[in-house]
Structure 1
Amino acid sequence: MNTEERKDCQENKQENQEEVEERTEISRKIQPWTKQITLRGVFVSIFIGSIYSVIAMKLSLTAGMIPHLNVSVALLAFIFIRTGTKVLKKAGIMSKPFTQQENTMIQTCAVACYSTAVGGGFSSYLLALNKKTYELSGVDTEGNSPRAVKEPGFGWMTAFLFTICFVGLFVLIPLRKALIVDLKLTYPTGMATAVLIKGFHNQGDNMAKKQVRAFTKYFSISFLWGFFQWFFSGKEGCGFSQFPTFGLQAWKQTFFFDFNMTYIGAGMICSHLVNLSLLFGAVLSYGLMWPLIGRLKGDWFPENLQESSMKGLYGYKAFVSVALILGDGLYNFLKILCFTLINIYGRSKNKNLKTDMDVQKKTEEGKDLKQNEVFLRENIPMWISVVGYIIFSITSIIFIPLMFPQLKWYYVVVAYILAPSLAFCNSYGAGLTDMNMGYNYGKVALFVLGALSGKENGIVAGLVGCGLIKSVVTVSCILMQDFRTAHHTLTSPRAMILSQAIGTAIGCVMGPLSFFLFYKAFDVGNPSGNFEAPYALIYRNMAILSVQGFSALPHHCLQLCYGFFAFAVAVNLVRDFSPHKMGKWMPLPMAMALPFLVGAYLAIDMCVGTLVVFVWHKLNTRKAELMVPTVASGLICGEGLWILPAAILALAKINPPICMKFVPS
């Protein structure tokens, strides 16, 4: 060995020794998992999770679409704890340092809380069982049985959530090493949240102060604006939410800006493609289709029908949106399933092959070694996963048929036998694409169980079975996403599982509470109201189709459904197989479907948010990247928090004193 080789060898040894010392030092600095979960963290998680449960419930009951709020939650946790510790320090009270591990724990717990409220079916499959949705879907519709009605109740809804929501926590725990470390799945939302959490704790105090000031400013503006609007909304159809921004004719077709800060903030978080797809769907539906079909009253459908009748124009709105959602969902379901199988096959085939990229891979492995070491340092016994899954599955098998006799116990058994494989496919696909397809697995279960159970029991069996499968598949995917965040922030997996369990338990209570806050105070489910809950009617109609077929559709509606189903598939094919310059302009059918039923005002609000982000990036990209999540969080939380006093005033029968309304001159 010559002198240069010996020198290189010594340098490599020195580098390896320094790397080992660095990893050892990091391991010493990281607290054990029992200290990563703190009492103040749990309290902050409960507070943030409760606020976001109300916000997410409002979004799901109005727009029906919830953007990723993980980053917003992590930011809010950072602001609360950092501000609180500084206040205590000025008062002479010293508190323990706020670490990125504690920040990750709070984010995980709070997200699990509001995710349970969103995924609990309060705006979709559970609300689809109430009497109002039954009447909206057509009392005279064949297959729409009056026996398939169950009014919302806090007791049974809470028990139902506690029964089904914990099963998903235990499904994929044994595969965490395979999915996170071995396969290196990115889980983009989890990774982005981790990067931002590390950025919060590594950046200077100056930027942290700017973010706190921006959040406080826009939170206050949003809250005070909601308070100001309340005075002018004395009756239905009054107030700034019905402001005819583009004229009265456009207002009749729901084209107006309703000054909703929550939607603007959500538009700032959602991608430009999502917002523009919403606008395209609004123009296509309320700008073209519904006015044209409305002129065919008396030809395509009877003239003397109620506005909400499924045999009239409302039927076209509901079923065409269902066709778009099913076309997009089925395509993405099959695409990700095929992509997952091909990827797994490719990895297993090339596992032992050496390539020219080996050196680069070893370098990357060296960088990830300390993260892998911390992530795998604490063993989670296999028996915990197996016993937990069996116990909660048996609980569901016993209690779900007692709550809903229409869903037979043996269907629940089969569902829980199939659930682990479905959960793995969904989590693997989400790790590659960031698309949680739990709702699509739920829809498949809805159609299968509805068809198997027959006309008398099919609607309830399909809707409840949909929730059962959706819960397992979605919760397990969210846990894997949080594991990716934990891997990057050097947080203990045990702390993540316990945080997820705490958040899920809180969500099982906060979900029904936040739902009844709206259900008791506002007219939830009214198609012409502010809380129309569009997905409840969509899920009810899916259940009707599963047991009865296409005879429930109004005249020529089936042909339109075929056309829009094919359109959804074709748009996805063009996006995936055409050149990027063309494919990036293809709309998202899932986003397009919402304005078909809800109206165009949602798209206007979201596009205002995306316009703000676009202009901000043009003026100052660096500042926009740092401040957009902060400003959006302030706007969402401010008006979201105003819902609490507004609901209390409504329950106390205190009505706004003024009705601001616009009429033709």
Structure 2
Amino acid sequence: MDATIGESAPSVERVFEGQPYHGFWGQVTLRSMVVAVVFAFVFSWVSIRIYMIVGLVGAFNMPSNIINFVCLKSLVALLRRCGIAVAPFTRQENMFLQTSVITCVNVAVSCGFATYIIAMTSELAKSLSDDPSDKTDIVEYVPMGRYGFFIFFTGLAGVMSMIPLVQVMIINYRLLFPTGTVVAHLINSFHTPQGAYVAKLQVRALLKAFLGSFSWSVFQWFYTGGNNCGFGVFPTFGLELYKRRFFFDFSVSWVGLGMIVPHLVNFGLLFGGIVSGGIIYPFLESKKGQWYHTDSASTLDGINGYKIFVGLTMVVTEGIFNFTTLMTAMLVDLYNKRQENDSGVTKFILKHPSLNYDDRKRLEVFLGNRLPAFGGVAGFVGCAIICSVITPWIFHQIKFYHVLIVFFTIIPVFTFSNIYGTGLTDWSVAPTYCKVVLFVVAACVAKPGAVIASLAACGASLISLNVSSQAMQDIKTGYMTLTSPRVVVAGHIYGVLISSIINPLIFLFFEEHAKKSAPIGTKASAYPSPSAGMYRALALLGTGGVKELPKYCITFCFGAILITVALETLRLVSQRRDWKLQHYIPCMTALALPFLAGPTFTIDFTIGTFVLIIWTKVNRQSAEILSSVVAAGLICGDGIWYLPSAILGLYNVDPPICMKFLASGEQVQMANAFLNTLGTQGMTR
């Protein structure tokens, strides 16, 4: 029966028994709404920036939860010291704040500003040798006002689509939703008297990491007074490896991200960087003139074709493999539950005398504030209809009936399977589902405009599916913290609302301050958006637009498929049989990213992993309590500095020093001679 039945574990809810339980407006407060806007902006800013540079973003559930708690708890304490009577900060209010922030961040990485929106531009089309003269498959400018409406209603559709499944997933199927469960334990710990000491330690560690990261970013800025200057281009392993983008760029935010991302993913990134930049690309470069005749980065008939399609093949193959695995696990689990006659489990939980105190209390709140399934269905239908009007209003290449077909046939099926898979494994494969939508729509439209139509359909699906799976995770957290499901859903709606305003503004800022000679999405840009090329390439494959590839490119792709399937099968078998080998098999998506973005950031991520491993060896308890906080401080400190540095750029305040690195010999003599003619004292090399 239910694994929670019994009194073997100490009761959580008895600790909170004497505390008053506030109603809806006691949990949804004005102060939490204001703080949510601030931290939603900060974490969305950092997430979009990371995604544009690396093409990979770690989960911010833990860091955001800690920072949210610290901020609002400190604010309440400050007001009380000033003699202002304020209501206590409860875990239910904490849950509303957390839900609002993480929903906005989730939308930030789903709304395409580093993927499918960039994939629509002519600059990205040129990099794939796609003819940008066909304007039907190019969108240079997306009206952000209209796109804000698109974000809101597709995100709201995701929230509505999961409402009819809430009781089924949380009560009937009793799915774990690992991240949601861990966050619930964290919130419960914070708000108990026993958690106060730990919270103080985390506050100190957070502030130290944030100030250290911010100060280091300010220091680095002084040495970036020119092109390719500063510590970010430090040839750590020598100039030859630097040319192949193997170097440590002293980015503490990437180091912090490496502390959050699982070790296996980080080592997979490093391994992918070594294999691609150290073995495969040098071999392919030696074949110039035989297999291909250009090394231009703006065409697919040269070495760029190998890079994009081999990386794309590994990502898509792993996604399809995971999709198949999760669907099989879901069908087996559903069959087992049907054989157990599990449909009456809710009545059993309510009536069974052995039910423990915590479960009774949680069920009382959960079922007493249940969400009407009909309201979710009606809301989803309404949002789908509105989206069918808004989407062609922004992207005229897609028709309203395309959007309706996607929303009423594809998304409901994918929503159920993705939520169920997330509950079982904590792994959302929404990007894979959306690539399937992308490919199918591109193949069905199959005429000028199919690329943009498929990218728009992919965007609507990605936002909706990502929001729905994260929303169910939050419902699980709310269940375990005695937060009303209605409050959690209110947090989702509020998060989607602020995301539809904040995220377009963030993108406009990045777009405005990107160099005109190197716009977002280009190889030379500060924001190359490596995943964008993969999205457009897949759309082109669906329409049959890519007709010329270098020699043996398909052979390499076929080899990538075989290797991916073999490794994924080996990992699946080793997990089922609990072999130690499972901890050493790399994630193929992580291995593929350096093929698309280069290996530079993999060094930073790996250093973050080594820092965490050493810290754990020295003091495991300290690492478990403080590592997420330190990582969050490093990421936020470095990310926040970008805003004042951009403001300085607006007022033409340039860094005073340029630090460059040259090979010894004639180059140094030429540089010295040139500098002597300038009489410049502020430049160093």
Query: TM-score band, normalised by the shorter chain?
Result: over 0.9
Question: What is the Cα deviation at residue 268 of structure 1?
Answer: 0.5
Secondary structure of 1:456's counterpart equals coil
Tell me if the contact between 1:172 and 1:420 (Cα under 8 Å) persists in the aligned partners.
Answer: no
Q: 1:656 to 1:24 in 2, by over 3 A?
A: closer
Q: Residue 431 of structure 1 aligns with which residue?
A: 423
RMSD: 2.4
Q: 1:83 to 1:146 in 2, by over 3 A?
A: same
Q: Residue 100 of structure 2 aligns with which residue?
A: 109
Q: 1:114 to 1:472 in 2, by over 3 A?
A: same
Q: Residue 131 of structure 1 aligns with which residue?
A: 122
Matched residues in 2 for 1:241 and 1:210: separation?
32
Matched residues in 2 for 1:540 and 1:428: separation?
29
Amino acid at match of 1:399: I
Question: What is the Cα deviation at residue 363 of structure 1?
Answer: 5.2
1:200-253, Cα deviation, whole Å (9 max, x unpaired): 222343332221111111101111111111222223322111111111111111
Tell me if the contact between 2:36 and 2:97 (Cα under 8 Å) persists in the aligned partners.
Answer: yes
1:181-213, Cα deviation, whole Å (9 max, x unpaired): 121111111111111111222234333222111
Name stretches of at least 5 consecutive residues in structure 2 with no aligned partner: 1-5, 665-685
Tell me if the contact between 2:27 and 2:487 (Cα under 8 Å) persists in the aligned partners.
Answer: yes
Matched residues in 1 for 2:130 and 2:168: separation?
51
Secondary structure of 2:547's counterpart equals helix
Amino acid at match of 2:554: L
The answer to whether 1:349 aligns with 2:345 is: no
Matched residues in 1 for 2:238 and 2:15: separation?
67
Aligned partner of 2:323 among 325, 333, 337: 333
Secondary structure of 1:513's counterpart equals helix
Amino acid at match of 1:505: L
Q: Number of aligned pairs?
A: 642
Q: Residue 599 of structure 1 aligns with which residue?
A: 598
Q: 1:193 to 1:548 in 2, by over 3 A?
A: same
Question: What is the Cα deviation at residue 502 of structure 1?
Answer: 0.6
Q: Residue 459 of structure 1 aligns with which residue?
A: 451
Tell me if the contact between 2:164 and 2:374 (Cα under 8 Å) persists in the aligned partners.
Answer: no
Moved more, 246-255 or 375-384: 375-384
Q: Residue 207 of structure 2 aligns with which residue?
A: 216
Q: 1:307 to 1:346 in 2, by over 3 A?
A: same
Matched residues in 2 for 1:347 and 1:322: separation?
37
Aligned partner of 2:269 among 248, 270, 278: 278
Q: Residue 448 of structure 1 aligns with which residue?
A: 440
Tell me if the contact between 2:441 and 2:453 (Cα under 8 Å) persists in the aligned partners.
Answer: yes
Amino acid at match of 1:607: T
Matched residues in 2 for 1:177 and 1:209: separation?
37
Q: Residue 33 of structure 1 aligns with which residue?
A: 24
Amino acid at match of 2:558: Y
Matched residues in 2 for 1:362 and 1:663: separation?
77
Amino acid at match of 2:496: T
Question: What is the Cα deviation at residue 479 of structure 1?
Answer: 0.8
Matched residues in 1 for 2:479 and 2:153: separation?
29
Q: Residue 176 of structure 1 aligns with which residue?
A: 166
Q: Residue 516 of structure 1 aligns with which residue?
A: 508
Q: Residue 608 of structure 1 aligns with which residue?
A: 607
Question: What is the Cα deviation at residue 144 of structure 1?
Answer: 7.4
Q: Residue 9 of structure 1 aligns with which residue?
A: none
The answer to whether 1:589 aligns with 2:588 is: yes
Tell me if the contact between 2:478 and 2:488 (Cα under 8 Å) persists in the aligned partners.
Answer: yes
Matched residues in 1 for 2:400 and 2:232: separation?
46
Tell me if the contact between 1:168 and 1:473 (Cα under 8 Å) persists in the aligned partners.
Answer: yes
Q: Residue 321 of structure 1 aligns with which residue?
A: 311
The answer to whether 1:383 aligns with 2:374 is: yes
The answer to whether 1:396 aligns with 2:387 is: yes
Amino acid at match of 1:443: K
Q: 1:25 to 1:474 in 2, by over 3 A?
A: closer
1:290-341, Cα deviation, whole Å (9 max, x unpaired): 11111222222114x5333322222211111101100110100111111111
Question: What is the Cα deviation at residue 586 of structure 1?
Answer: 0.8
Counterparts in 2 of 1:180-259, with a 5 A limit? 180-202=170-192, 203-259=194-250
Matched residues in 1 for 2:506 and 2:16: separation?
45
Matched residues in 2 for 1:365 and 1:335: separation?
35
The answer to whether 1:621 aligns with 2:620 is: yes
The answer to whether 1:157 aligns with 2:147 is: yes
Q: Residue 560 of structure 1 aligns with which residue?
A: 556
Secondary structure of 1:29's counterpart equals coil
Matched residues in 2 for 1:129 and 1:123: separation?
11
Aligned partner of 1:503 among 483, 495, 499: 495
Q: Equivalent pairs: percent with the same residue?
A: 35
Question: What is the Cα deviation at residue 649 of structure 1?
Answer: 2.7
Secondary structure of 1:172's counterpart equals helix
Q: Residue 474 of structure 1 aligns with which residue?
A: 466
Counterparts in 2 of 1:27-176, with a 5 A limit? 29-140=20-131, 147-176=137-166
Counterparts in 2 of 1:510-549, with a 5 A limit? 510-522=502-514, 523-548=519-544
Tell me if the contact between 1:145 and 1:455 (Cα under 8 Å) persists in the aligned partners.
Answer: no
The answer to whether 1:268 aligns with 2:267 is: no
Question: What is the Cα deviation at residue 409 of structure 1?
Answer: 1.8
Tell me if the contact between 1:114 and 1:507 (Cα under 8 Å) persists in the aligned partners.
Answer: yes
Q: Residue 8 of structure 1 aligns with which residue?
A: none
Matched residues in 2 for 1:470 and 1:53: separation?
17
Tell me if the contact between 1:327 and 1:566 (Cα under 8 Å) persists in the aligned partners.
Answer: no
1:63-99, Cα deviation, whole Å (9 max, x unpaired): 1111110111110011101212222222222321111
The answer to whether 1:307 aligns with 2:297 is: yes
Q: Residue 3 of structure 1 aligns with which residue?
A: none
Matched residues in 2 for 1:180 and 1:140: separation?
50
Secondary structure of 2:167's counterpart equals helix
Question: What is the Cα deviation at residue 527 of structure 1?
Answer: 1.0
Q: 1:366 to 1:520 in 2, by over 3 A?
A: same
Tell me if the contact between 1:446 and 1:462 (Cα under 8 Å) persists in the aligned partners.
Answer: yes
Question: What is the Cα deviation at residue 551 of structure 1?
Answer: 2.4
Q: 1:651 to 1:117 in 2, by over 3 A?
A: farther
Secondary structure of 1:481's counterpart equals helix
1:481-514, Cα deviation, whole Å (9 max, x unpaired): 1001101111111111111111111011111111
Matched residues in 2 for 1:235 and 1:152: separation?
31
Question: What is the Cα deviation at residue 592 of structure 1?
Answer: 0.8
Tell me if the contact between 2:302 and 2:549 (Cα under 8 Å) persists in the aligned partners.
Answer: no
Aligned partner of 1:420 among 407, 412, 419: 412
Amino acid at match of 2:341: K
Name stretches of at least 5 consecutive residues in structure 1 with no aligned partner: 1-14
1:134-160, Cα deviation, whole Å (9 max, x unpaired): 11111449x976643332442233232
Question: What is the Cα deviation at residue 362 of structure 1?
Answer: 7.7
Tell me if the contact between 1:328 and 1:569 (Cα under 8 Å) persists in the aligned partners.
Answer: yes
The answer to whether 1:295 aligns with 2:291 is: no
Secondary structure of 1:528's counterpart equals coil
Matched residues in 1 for 2:354 and 2:323: separation?
35
Question: What is the Cα deviation at residue 364 of structure 1?
Answer: 6.4
Q: 1:140 to 1:389 in 2, by over 3 A?
A: closer
Tell me if the contact between 1:77 and 1:103 (Cα under 8 Å) persists in the aligned partners.
Answer: yes
Tell me if the contact between 1:300 and 1:555 (Cα under 8 Å) persists in the aligned partners.
Answer: yes
Q: Residue 6 of structure 1 aligns with which residue?
A: none
Matched residues in 1 for 2:652 and 2:327: separation?
52
Q: TM-score, normalised by structure 2?
A: 0.90
Matched residues in 2 for 1:146 and 1:265: separation?
42
Secondary structure of 1:149's counterpart equals coil
